Amino acid sequence: MGKRIAIYPGTFDPITLGHLDVVERGTKLFDKVIVAITTNQKKKPLFSMKERLVLAKEAFKKYPRVEVDSFNTLLVDYAKKKRCKVILRGLRELSDFEREFQHAIVNRKLAGSTETVFIMTSAKYFYLNSSVVKEVASLGGKLDCFVPKAVEAALRKKFRK
């Protein structure tokens, strides 16, 4: 039997402690988790792709079974390229489920061998998302309870300008 690999896709703009929680728990289920950073035409990112890659690599440097990568194709095409059949997704609230369920079905239609595994976010992070973090950062608020140290520093630098 081969390695059990899961791809955890997202824009990660920026990466939060909630994302780390999902990946850490995912490494208990899979031999390797690929944090795959992508663009989203509906969102205007605060951080460039290069910056998000650097921040994610820093956030996951102590996790030997986590790889950080980027892609700009259909997720199922990226998964085929990585020889991966599992998409890992975190769920925070009911509205996440509706959107994620739709994505999972579309991915299955596009690539029948692709399965999506959902992990419920820990209760201490159920409210947390990147938009909230950016809003708090833009107003000079406390960030250490939301993001890793390197992300906090990068946010402070972005909003000082």
Catalytic residues: 19, 43, 92, 130
Helix, strand, or coil here: 102? helix
In the chain, which ranges are continuous DSSP H helix? Answer: 17-26, 49-59, 75-81, 94-110, 130-138, 149-160
Q: Give 56's contacts (C-beta < 8 A, 6+ positions apart).
A: 12, 15, 35, 37, 68
Q: Which structure tokens are listed for 7?
A: 């791809």
Which residue(s) pair with 149 in the sheet? none
